[in-house]
Amino acid sequence: MTTVVLIIHLLVCLGLILVVLLQAGKGASMGAAFGGSSQTVFGSAGATTFLAKLTTAVAVVFMLTSLGLAMFLGRTTSPSVVDQVPMNPPAQSAPATSAPTAPAPAAEQGAK
């Protein structure tokens, strides 16, 4: 299921890029506003074009697939290193002291 949503997401992403690039820029009317020749800067921009409606629809699908992927990938449980650590580690042994060893008993020395 995740793979299908990911493929749809990538296709919608490419479609969104294409639709946005196909639209005419609106920067020219804003630049003409300072010259006084444009009446659309603060007024009505006119009827919504087909590309504007298509951009809105593709953007909505893009957001939905983004949320879907976040939900699908957020629920996966992967093994964690922390789960492999034992709860109670074994107690460490006390370090050996460097006390001198006692000499062998005299009975063992005399048996030679």
Q: Does residue 90 sit within a domain?
A: no
pLDDT of residue 59: 95
| Residue numbers of the domain that contains 13 | 1-21+50-76
Q: Does residue 72 sit within a domain?
A: yes
How do residues 21-34 score in pLDDT, each as one tens digit?
A: 988 776 655 555 56
- Measured distance CA(77)–CA(92) in Å, rounded: 33
Task: Give the residues of the chain that fall short of pLDDT 70.
Answer: 26-47, 76, 78, 89-90, 93-112
pLDDT of residue 70: 92
The rounded Cα 21 to chain-centroid distance in angstroms is 27
Q: How many domains does the chain have?
A: 1
The residue type at 109: Q
Residue 6 burial by Cβ neighbours in a 10 Å radius (0-12, 13-18, 19+): middle
- Measured distance CA(47)–CA(26) in Å, rounded: 14
